[in-house]
Each structure stands twice: as C-alpha cells, then as structure tokens.
Amino acid sequence: MSSDLPQELYVRDVRIAPNLILAPMEGVTDLTFRRLIRQIGGTGLTVTEFIPAEGLRRDIPKIREMVQFDADERPISVQVYGRSSEALAEGAKIAQDLGATIVDFNMGCPSKKVCAHSGGSALMKEPELARQLVRAIRGAVSVPFTVKMRTGWDVQHKNAVEIAYMCQEEGAEMVTVHWRTRADLYGGVRELDTIRQVKDRLKIPVIANGDIVDYESAMDTLRKTGADGVMIGRGAIKNPWVFKQIAAQMRGEPPCVVDTDEREMVMLGYFQQIRDRFQHDRGALGRFKKIAKYFTHGVPYGSELREGVLHAQEVTEAIEVVHRFFDRLRRYEAGGANPFLGPREEGLVIPEESCGISAS
C-alpha cells in the first residue's frame, strides 16, 4: 500500500517530486556527489554545498567551481551564506544568472567560523539582521527563494516559528527546519514539535530535516510535523540509495536491495569520479576518506573497510583496499569462512559531524 502522506510539493511553479531533498553538505554535496545521487535516483531536489556570497561576488575560482551543476540537474537549489546584504544580494543574483532553479539562504550552519561572523545559525539570534539579509536576497532574485534554519540558538531561544514567519513575510517561498538548535550541534534529543508549530503557522511549504535515514524515519517525521517534504543529509552519504528506497516504499513498492557488487561498483565508480575531478591525488584521497567514513557504515563489517581506507597513504592503495574488502565479503557471502576480525556492524551509526570542514 502506498503512503497516505504527500509525495510531491511545489515551490511556486517548481515541482519537487518526490518530496525528498538532498541536504546541502559542505565538502560533500559537490557536483560529483550530486551526480551519484541523481544517477541512483529518488530525490526531487538537490542543493549545492553552502557558497559564500562574498566569494561569488569576488569571482574566486574555487567558489565558482562550487556552484557548478549539470545542465540537466533540474531542479537545482544553490545555497548561499553570508552576513552582508550587498554581498548576499549580488551572490544570489549571480547564482540565479548561472541558472539556479532556486536560491536558498543558510541560517542553520553551526560552524564557529561562520557563526563568529554572524552568519549561519547565529542569525537566529539577530532577527533584525536576518530580516535585512532575507529582504536583500528576495529583492535581488526573481527565482524561488528559500531559507534553511535550525529550531533556534539553544533550548532557551527556540524561535524558528518567529524567524520562519518573518521569512515568509519577506517573500521566502519555502523553509527547511533541522530539528536541532545550534547548541545541539549534532547531538541533542529529537524534538519535532517546533517543526510542527512552524508548519501550522506558515502558508509556504515546510521541509523537515534531521536524522532521517530510511522510510520509517521519513514517514514518522512527516506524520509528526505535518511537513510537506523531508531533507536527508548524512543518511544519504551512508546510503546513497536511501532516496530511491524511500520513494519506492512511498509508492507502495518494496525497497530495492543493494547487493555487495552494486555497493562496490558505486563506491569505486564514485572514487574514480573524485579522482578525475581533483587535480592532485592528495585532495582526492582526503575526499575519499571523508566519504568512506560514512559510506562504510552501510556495509557489513564496514569498520574494516573504513580502517583500511582511512589508513591508506595513496589513492591507489585506497582503491586496492576497497577491492580486497569486497572480494573477501563476496567469498564469505558465498559460504566461505568468516575472514573478518570484528563483530558484524551494519548501518547503525551515523557519525556526528559539524557543519563541514570549517567547523573544526
């Protein structure tokens, strides 16, 4: 039986179907990762990692690279962040001119570096500044404009309802709310009431975000919040098939089962794409490790694969580790002796991570 919950939504005239959105993740959701997710399928909208508006304005090549997307990546949302009205207006306009379907404003990043300059989630403490910035972006672009936030700065200052309402008044056309406060970083106790209150107060679509990893957690979140859709971040690095699986179950079909061959093929194919994209093997190896840290949590005995990749000194060594691991796993699954030393772990943990590299 298919789900009785909504399966698509519109941001003005932009159709998001299914209503499953890939979260923006700095250092992860670049063009290569988004291509992987789109090839597998099941997501209705992809979002770039956050782009400093000031960098776009100054035309810094590295920043311009972050904003790249494929011509057929539609709809695509480009997320900008910053704390200057002028830079945000100009950066948002550049994103629009580059072809963004939607421009999103980051009001949720907990990173010290971003918050120290009143950006990201620190804006939730400064509603007047937040209003000015939202107004500046709204005035600069004609494409749909959306905002992503947390539920507040900390538990004493949970003001997502007021901030989201202000965004709507200023012309935002969708808001995404991550159930954590800034103080929660990536811990805290799951609390969906605030998102429910945001949904009850607003007319524009509301997206719920935080710890969604499968059909059950997606449906539970939609039911408890009444949200129009969900956004998935770390769950998609651990399991890039998550959107396809949830979408199938929403239609009343069984989720696709991912076998060992497919996991290996996807991991190696993705690694190869990273390698082609990075000019230096050092950069490619760093990115491999970042992704492997999550991806291996979805693989049986993945801790051995993780350790192997994390200790690799060269890209070729990391690729060899992947080959060897999956060969052993295949032999074991075919009835051979168990070659693994540790206990079987499989997809239970989502590593905590602060908002991207700059958070550390």
Ligand X SMILES: Cc1cc2nc3c(=O)[nH]c(=O)nc-3n(C[C@H](O)[C@H](O)[C@H](O)COP(=O)(O)O)c2cc1C
Nearer to ligand X, 336 or 351 (CB): 351
**For residues 203-226, b (16+ Cβ closer than 10 Å) or e, as one string?**
ebbbbbbbbbbbbebbbebbeebb
CB of residue 278 vs ligand X: minimum separation in angstroms?
18
73 or 211, CB closer to ligand X?
211
Which segments of 116-272 are extended strands (E)?
145-150, 174-178, 206-209, 229-232
Cβ-closest position to ligand X: 233
DSSP, res 233? S
Residue 26 DSSP one-character state:
T
Minimum distance from residue 69 beta carbon to ligand X (Å): 15
Based on its alpha-carbon atoms, the radius of gyration of the chain, rounded to whole angstroms, reads 20
Active site residue 256: no
Least CB distance from residue 297 to ligand X, whole Å?
13
Least distance from ligand X to the Cβ atom of residue 26, Å? 4
3-state SS, one letter per residue, for 238-290: HCCCHHHHHHHHHCCCCCCCCCHHHHHHHHHHHHHHHHHHCCCHHHHHHHHHH
Phi–psi pair at 177, nearest 5 degrees: -125, 120
Give the residues lining the site for ligand X (CB under 6 A).
Answer: 23-28, 49-50, 79, 106, 108-109, 148, 178, 209-212, 232-235, 353, 355-356
What residues contact residue 38 under an 8 Å CB cut-off, 6+ apart?
Answer: 46, 73
52 vs 308 by CB, closer to ligand X: 52
- Dist. CA 255–CA 110, nearest whole Å: 34
CB of 108 to ligand X, least distance (A): 5
Catalytic residue among 109, 115, 167, 355: 109
Nearer to ligand X, 35 or 330 (CB): 35
Query: CA–CA separation, 196 vs 190, rounded Å?
Result: 13
Residue nearer to ligand X on the CB measure, 205 or 235: 235
- What would the two tokens of residue 238 be? 């651990």
Give the catalytic positions in this structure: 109
